[in-house]
Structure 1
């Protein structure tokens, strides 16, 4: 096949791993971890809101800061976080395509471009919700309840055939359903992998958004969930365990709100 010609061959029919690409990914991963730690530390102050919850400063534009600068700052933080969370499970997927290291770089660029687009959408939603919450005490007091219900809904999704179809698609040999690999350009294939991954990770990302997008402990747990769903055997059992835990978490948060 055409894509097999892109592999670096050795005498005897063996192939070498693209060490340059692996080194770039490792360096990028640790850079993302360090950058994420920096952003978590710099955004440690939250605003107390009616209803007993706190709102992250990332959804608010700082004094004398333009909207362009605010969006750019969020996207840099978001990209660093996605690289540190997604790279452990994405790297094996990239390597399975058996392309040369330059093509793999284009593929990874396409993959994280999709995640960057998701960040733009989340920022718009987050800023809008934060604005309305600061203007309406009623909405602010309803936010914890809404987040609890969102967690329950996300947990239920883990038991649906839709979730399993998306998970199996994401766990396929190339990270997405594709028949003719040789016809796909690397960047486009990376975008397809990223889109499949984003859809599959709807529940883990919902958990992170509900519990605190910049909470380091939540990040680590969500990264472990994503990696487990993609790499562990028996994906159906893994998905249902995560779903059950998410439903329990949502019910517990609503119960806490009632007691509070």
Structure 2
């Protein structure tokens, strides 16, 4: 009679650890950046510092929605669970850390939009909203989201990975689909301000709803439609994109 609850606790433990890690990342960001304004570009950070902050941001925003997948993967592990789950999570975050390289280049380029004439900056903001919104409505977004929402098939794939690299490969593979699913949402941070904590909270909620809510696909499409609407509205209300058009917005 005790096998069910004990088994439940075993697979729930990794999910709890990921939630704790996300909470620590959120706490650090609120403490360190909570009083700052949404700033354009790379926030004045060099590449190493930017990558460190970016990775913490992704840990805070993505790990809560990834916790159920990690818990499911943990059920396939019978020995050395803690170390192997650390490898899985580390590889997952490494994918997002690597995504920080193009994010840095993009942020540096878009940061110049804040110094452009208002009309040019607004056009850049509209393009950011439009690209994000259109991608949300594409079949590729649907495919990546489906893998995140229904990972059971992926677990069978991961179980076939041979050797000690299995956990690293599984974490990186899931991270790649997660990146394919959510990069368009992260792009919105360029418009709202990279360290705009209110925007981060809202986008983290969207990520979690897309992946875990019964109507997750509808949420993804609704966000796409809203983003396209913002691409039009920003010409009349430039303050919708404080990270690109200036004006600033309090981060928290």
Do both proteins adopt the same fold according to a TM-score greater than 0.5, normalized to the shorter chain? yes
Q: CA deviation at 1:248?
A: 1.7
Equivalent pair of 2:18/2:63 in contact (CA under 8 Å): yes
Which residue is equivalent to 2:201? 220
Query: Which structure's CA Rg is the greater one?
Result: 1
Match of 2:48 among 69, 72, 80: 72
Q: CA deviation at 1:236?
A: 2.9
Which residue is equivalent to 2:63? 87
Paired residues in the alignment total 229
- What runs of 5+ residues in structure 2 fail to find an aligned partner? 240-244, 246-252
Which residue is equivalent to 2:18? 25
Q: CA deviation at 1:254?
A: 2.0
Higher relative contact order (CA 8 A, sep 6+): 2
Matches of 2:171 and 2:135 in 1, distance apart? 26
Q: CA deviation at 1:60?
A: 2.8
Which residue is equivalent to 1:163? 141
Give a deviation string over 1:60-108, Cα, whole Å, max 9, x none: 35xxxxxxxx222212211211111111111111111112232111100
If the length of structure 1 is used for normalisation, what is the TM-score? 0.76
Which residue is equivalent to 1:146? 124
Equivalent pair of 1:151/1:246 in contact (CA under 8 Å): yes
From the superposition, tell whether residues 45 and 153 of structure 1 become closer, same or farther in structure 2 (CA, over 3 Å).
closer
- What runs of 5+ residues in structure 1 fail to find an aligned partner? 1-9, 47-53, 62-69
From the superposition, tell whether residues 186 and 180 of structure 1 become closer, same or farther in structure 2 (CA, over 3 Å).
same
From the superposition, tell whether residues 36 and 110 of structure 1 become closer, same or farther in structure 2 (CA, over 3 Å).
same
Residue 60 in structure 1 maps to residue 44 in structure 2 = yes
Equivalent pair of 1:29/1:87 in contact (CA under 8 Å): yes
From the superposition, tell whether residues 129 and 105 of structure 1 become closer, same or farther in structure 2 (CA, over 3 Å).
same
If the length of structure 2 is used for normalisation, what is the TM-score? 0.79
Residue 181 in structure 1 maps to residue 154 in structure 2 = no
